[in-house]
Structure 1
Amino acid sequence: MDNQRNLIFAVVLCGLMILLYDSAISYFYPAPPESEQTERATTPEQRAAQEVANESGLAPSVAQQAVDLDEALASGNRVAIDAPRVEGSINLVGARVDDIELKDHRATVDEDSGPVQLFAPAGTPIQNFAQFGFVGDGTQLPDAKTVWQASGDTLSPGNPVDLRWDNDEGQRFRIRLSIDDNYMITAEQTVANYGEGPVVVSPFATITRTSLTASKSTWIAHSGPIGTFGGTVDYGVDYDDLAEDGPVSGEGQAAWLGFTDIYWLGALVPEAGSSPDTGFRSLGNDLFRADLIYDPVTLRPGRQITRSSQLFAGAKESGVLDAYQDAGIAQFGLAIDWGWFRWFEKPILWLLRQIFSVVGNFGVAIILLTCCVRGLMFPIAQKGFSSMASMKAIQPDMKKLQEKHKDDKVKQQQEMQKLFKDKGVNPVAGCLPMLLQIPVFFALYKVLILAIEMRHQPFVLWIEDLSAPDPAHVLNLFGLLPYDVPGFLALGPLALLLGFTMWLTFRLNPSTMDPVQQQVFSIMPWVLMFVMAPFAAGLLLYWNTSNLLTLAQQKYLYSKHPQLKAAAEKEKAEKAQKAQEGA
């Protein structure tokens, strides 16, 4: 009777876990609030930076009206951008790079959806833009409303464009923009003083973006403010931190800073050898800004200064980021949040790319990659099973020693160690192989989360995007019934197969648990089936492949070590009999 009551309790508990799963995810990873967020400058340095930025008209009004993207881009005063991997335009009003499209990445899985719009003008629903300018004292300076004059109509590799403005007081300002074959724009900001007295000038660069279109930041993949400060990449600050706690300045000199999503990055790179004031702040109304402000310079008549900054606006492709890192941008490859196991993850990603280049189907590449990794780990698993078999073989002797020396724990331990030595058995040898596999399999899992190569990749039949959840839902008969399935019930064929393969894995492993524990654990595969159903189809494909390989591996190893299975089955039967006698 107690066993039945415990089982019913376990079933009810598992049901509550499923129902509360969506709520828990929403709680821990909430969408950015729509309410106005206020900014607080907490240190003299932050207040000074805010005042400088406000003087230039950088802080947008929280009450500004939403602007249609097409309407904003159709306005005049623009210089086109046409590079191999990006296109867009530069707004001559305010010297803003506010129109960047990524030619190699579609907005949606639909082939006619057009490219990803990474940067967009201020006031549009997806506003995200960079601005270059000057602040200072002693003369009239360009601001957010200044209309710059361009030296050309199109910015392209090998064809830089100069933006010029003369304040009619003796100071001339120039921003020379150039672009490479990937995602990097270089801005050389020059001010020359032809006046009669000295002026104080600070070149600056900023990135402003809305958090409403940001990807969610999770424990496995950071999204939000990011940068390298003092030789360390900072993943610790998110948009809520800026809104609630005020401006944040990185500790140490900045190598680069900006905002990241899972797949995209906008970042500023200061001039080598400089020590600009850098940091992040909330502007209110779900807007946030990354600041790069160079130290003020006093320009006497006849003198000029130039500061060179870089703007990265593109996809987080590991090879591209690493190439920029090799060119001198410290730790730029870590804009992808690889985590602790990046030494495993990068080789795995390289292997995944190589397999994909051969087979041409990313789903098949995931299956083959999983087979390769499991194959490499097989000798370790085999060693663990051998150790477990040896331990099972001496278990009767161990029980005798435990009974014989039950009142003398020290003597019991000494005799146990002597038994292990005489039989050539290492009691921890079965655990170590399992521990060695954990970082490798976690690295494989994280690669599939972070790899932009999986985005919009089809597999077979109904799976058109491996980076999205399985679109086929069993509970509405694959779309035949006219209702949307809630997230926690969105069971597709891959999720069902996952539950079934996990259940088979559990059934194949002989358990030494008591019957009630065994019943509870037999329910867990079906609970995990619901929990994992909303994950990307590529991840479910990996888990299913891994489970099937585990089944094959377990079956083979048990065939090689029948004493292991026989001993476990015998112990299981004894426990079941004792539980039945005690019921």
Structure 2
Amino acid sequence: MDDQNRNLILATALSFAVILVWFLLFPPPEQAPQPAPTETVQTADGITTPAAEGGETAPQIGASETVSRAAALERAPRVPIETNKLTGSLSLTGGRIDDLSFLDYHVTIEQNSPDVTLFSPAGANDAYYALYGWAPGGGLSFDAVPGPTTEWEVEEGDLLSEDSPVTLVWDNGQGLIFRRVISVDDEYMFTMTQSVENTTGSEVRVAPYGIIARHGIPQNLKNFYILHEGVIEMADGELSEIDYDDVEDFAVDPAERAAAERKQIEANGWIGFTDHYWMSTLVPSPGQAFTAVTKYTQATNTFQTDMRLPVQSVAPGTTVESSSYLFAGPKEWEEIRYYQNTLGIDRFVDSIDWGWFFFLTKPIFIALHYLNSWLGNMGVAIICLTLLIKALLFPLAYKSYVSMSKMKLLQPEMEKIKESAGEDRMKMQQEVMALYKREKVNPAAGCLPILLQIPIFFSLYKVIFVTLELRHAPFFGWIQDLSAPDPTSILNLFGLLPWGAPDATSFFAIISIGVWPVLMGASMWLQMKLNPAPTDKTQAMIFNWMPWIFMFMLGQFASGLVIYWVFNNIITFTQQYIIMRSQGVKPDILGNILPHKKKEADQP
């Protein structure tokens, strides 16, 4: 086996190995929450807020029997929410934001597809909502403060929109009047301003909190290990991603639960739930210390994240106020980055799952984002990104292809060495290496472009799979969603036969490849034809089957990734062909690469 073939096989084997390791063995790491101090807060006068085990500072959310979403919405009086981006309502029972949908995003690419729904009320399937309240301090009971089932009244505003906030009020009948002013901007950020007015003759102590609750694991959970779905938390610069099954483990051992589920955040942080494309996040004012809580209640099958703010003293005749934010929307990079910069939300863009190769995924996404904004088509942006990546790697590719060309020109001398050495492999290796050294050829140079493509390929796959901007992004023709596989199928001759393609869950889906995967296999085969056919039959068989194996392996990948691969193959083929011609090697696409000298020697 000559060194070039050995290097190519080695690079190919390494590529397969890395793919298998990446997709099968090493999912992205999950950072478990760190132990935090006990939640009991004691002041100089001995007043304490309740410990977690004795009565939650933020009360548990209970689940009721499951009914239709429409029926669940009718259980409480409501205030409508209407903005340019959002539609829904907030419930006066608990003052919950529990009905929210996105006007700019739809479930599928079909016409008249329903809007994507984020929040749903308790009692409905996939109940998911946010609520706020006050925890009682010393001398107060939970009945004296607003909680999850408090019946609020509207004091001002009958519609929550960008231009009209809503003020809710609740009088506990014991001298405390609570108000909640809810406002929303023209995107997806709510501002919650809670206040308590003390008309009693003594000081009271209360602590504001916010809760996001989910009843059960989401039904549309992707459960794909390259994507995090579950609790996400930023605590003074440390990002934690906690899966739902890990949150469930908190409820197994009360001692472990008390140590693991609470984290004291000193200045900058946020906590909430993240889905594939959507997110809800509790965000205190920047610089505000708070306790972040993650928990699961088995009795009600409820996942819950809490933002618990410090206890506040309210003197007689005074009012105290607390403001915080609730982000409830799609993970649009530009908007999340805007909130990070304008509101000072620490590392908010890291709510997007950039993965291990964040140093590649972030610049790749940013390049795609701006190329798409200039070109108006994400598929064209992927092609332009391919050209940009190939241009950046061209100096290395040039050296590699020049080295490969020199090795091809040395092929006749290598054949002579092989014949003269006979069965003495040690002698053959020594003479071949001496030939390489004399001719200044690096046999490993051909592997470098392939090895560099591996992390770029993984990073682009991550970007296409994870980022919202690729969701339902059209290309041309039948590709109307670059984040989904090519919808055509070889099993019905790409739509010419009168039956549809197999369902994605079908056993035949793996062989139901579309036009672009076939183009990828063909372009890979064409590129490999620039390399000589190995003399060993086993090697030759591996090389012949490799493009078609990759074609089926990547056939169900996102079409945007396959389009990248096709154009990468075409550009690589063109570069290699031109460079080899410039080095005196004439590629024979239908056969092998035949050096001029060898062809001339073969002529009579």
- Give the structure-2-normalised TM-score: 0.76
Specify the alignment match of 1:269 in structure 2: 283
Give the superposition deviation at 1:381. Answer: 1.1
Give the counterpart of 1:505 among 502, 527, 531: 527
Instruction: Please give the alpha-carbon distance, in whole angstroms, between the structure 2 residues aligned to 1:455 and 1:26.
Output: 24
Q: 1:408–1:463: structure 2 CA closer, same or farther, 3 Å change rule? A: closer
Give the superposition deviation at 1:240. Answer: 1.3
Q: Which amino acid aligns with 1:383?
A: K
Question: Per-residue displacement from partner, 1:369-405 (whole Å, max 9, x unpaired)?
Answer: 32333233333311222244456667969998xx9xx
Q: Are 2:336 and 1:317 equivalent residues in the alignment?
A: no
Specify the alignment match of 1:290 in structure 2: 305
Q: Which moved more, 1:106-115 or 1:94-103?
A: 106-115
Instruction: Please give the alpha-carbon distance, in whole angstroms, between the structure 1 residues aligned to 2:208 and 2:474.
Output: 46
Instruction: Please give the alpha-carbon distance, in whole angstroms, between the structure 2 residues aligned to 1:509 and 1:288.
Output: 56
Q: 1:89–1:144: structure 2 CA closer, same or farther, 3 Å change rule? A: same
Specify the alignment match of 2:577 in structure 1: 555
Question: Per-residue displacement from partner, 1:223-258 (whole Å, max 9, x unpaired)?
Answer: 2211212302223x2111112344544766251111
Specify the alignment match of 2:78 in structure 1: 78
Specify the alignment match of 1:339 in structure 2: 355
Question: Per-residue displacement from partner, 1:83-135 (whole Å, max 9, x unpaired)?
Answer: 23222211111111112221221222123123211111122223221111112
Instruction: Please give the alpha-carbon distance, in whole angstroms, between the structure 2 residues aligned to 1:432 and 1:59.
Output: 56
Instruction: Please give the alpha-carbon distance, in whole angstroms, between the structure 2 residues aligned to 1:251 and 1:505.
Output: 54
Q: Which amino acid aligns with 2:104?
A: D
Question: Per-residue displacement from partner, 1:512-561 (whole Å, max 9, x unpaired)?
Answer: 57321331343233333333222222222222222222332332233233
Specify the alignment match of 2:209 in structure 1: 204
Give the counterpart of 2:486 among 458, 467, 470: 470
SS of the residue 1:381 aligns to = helix
Give the counterpart of 1:176 among 173, 181, 185: 181
Specify the alignment match of 2:389 in structure 1: 373
Specify the alignment match of 2:462 in structure 1: 446
Instruction: Please give the alpha-carbon distance, in whole angstroms, between the structure 2 residues aligned to 1:418 and 1:26.
Output: 42
SS of the residue 1:155 aligns to = coil
Give the superposition deviation at 1:160. Answer: 2.1
Give the superposition deviation at 1:280. Answer: 1.7
Specify the alignment match of 1:58 in structure 2: 60
Q: Is the Cα contact below 8 Å between 1:281 and 1:288 reproduced in 2?
A: yes
SS of the residue 1:292 aligns to = strand
- Give the structure-1-normalised TM-score: 0.79
Q: Which amino acid aligns with 2:269?
A: A
Q: Which amino acid aligns with 1:279?
A: V
Give the superposition deviation at 1:490. Answer: 3.0
Q: Is the Cα contact below 8 Å between 1:392 and 1:564 reproduced in 2?
A: no
Q: 1:495–1:426: structure 2 CA closer, same or farther, 3 Å change rule? A: closer
Instruction: Please give the alpha-carbon distance, in whole angstroms, between the structure 1 residues aligned to 2:73 and 2:169.
Output: 21
Question: Per-residue displacement from partner, 1:443-488 (whole Å, max 9, x unpaired)?
Answer: 3333222332222223333333222222223325547347845233
Q: Which amino acid aligns with 2:117?
A: Q
SS of the residue 2:479 aligns to = coil
Instruction: Please give the alpha-carbon distance, in whole angstroms, between the structure 2 residues aligned to 1:484 and 1:398.
Output: 50
Name the structure where helix makes up a greater proportion of residues: 1
Question: Per-residue displacement from partner, 1:5-26 (whole Å, max 9, x unpaired)?
Answer: xxxxxxxxxxxx9xxx9xx999
Instruction: Please give the alpha-carbon distance, in whole angstroms, between the structure 1 residues aligned to 2:375 and 2:529.
Output: 34
Give the superposition deviation at 1:342. Answer: 3.8
Q: Residues 84-233 of structure 1 correspond to what in structure 2 (within 5 A)?
A: 84-137=84-137, 138-139=139-140, 140-150=144-154, 151-209=156-214, 210-233=216-239
Instruction: Please give the alpha-carbon distance, in whole angstroms, between the structure 1 residues aligned to 2:301 and 2:67.
Output: 16
Q: 1:491–1:392: structure 2 CA closer, same or farther, 3 Å change rule? A: closer
Specify the alignment match of 1:302 in structure 2: 317
Q: Is the Cα contact below 8 Å between 1:249 and 1:280 reproduced in 2?
A: yes
Q: Is the Cα contact below 8 Å between 1:467 and 1:537 reproduced in 2?
A: yes
- The count of residues paired between Structure 1 and Structure 2 equals 528
Q: 1:553–1:262: structure 2 CA closer, same or farther, 3 Å change rule? A: farther
Give the superposition deviation at 1:496. Answer: 2.6
Q: Are 2:498 and 1:480 equivalent residues in the alignment?
A: yes
Specify the alignment match of 1:34 in structure 2: none
Q: Which moved more, 1:470-479 or 1:266-275?
A: 470-479
Q: Which amino acid aligns with 1:538?
A: G
Specify the alignment match of 1:6 in structure 2: none
Q: Which amino acid aligns with 1:264?
A: W
Q: Is the Cα contact below 8 Å between 2:227 and 2:353 reproduced in 1?
A: yes
Q: Which amino acid aligns with 2:311?
A: P
Q: 1:437–1:530: structure 2 CA closer, same or farther, 3 Å change rule? A: closer
Percent identity of paired positions between Structure 1 and Structure 2: 37
Q: Is the Cα contact below 8 Å between 2:263 and 2:293 reproduced in 1?
A: no
Q: Which amino acid aligns with 2:231?
A: P
SS of the residue 1:162 aligns to = strand
Instruction: Please give the alpha-carbon distance, in whole angstroms, between the structure 2 residues aligned to 1:476 and 1:562.
Output: 45
Instruction: Please give the alpha-carbon distance, in whole angstroms, between the structure 1 residues aligned to 2:585 and 2:157.
Output: 80
Question: Per-residue displacement from partner, 1:334-371 (whole Å, max 9, x unpaired)?
Answer: 11112344444444334434443454433333333323
Q: Which amino acid aligns with 2:68?
A: D
Q: Which moved more, 1:118-127 or 1:445-454?
A: 445-454
Q: Which amino acid aligns with 2:513?
A: L
SS of the residue 1:508 aligns to = coil
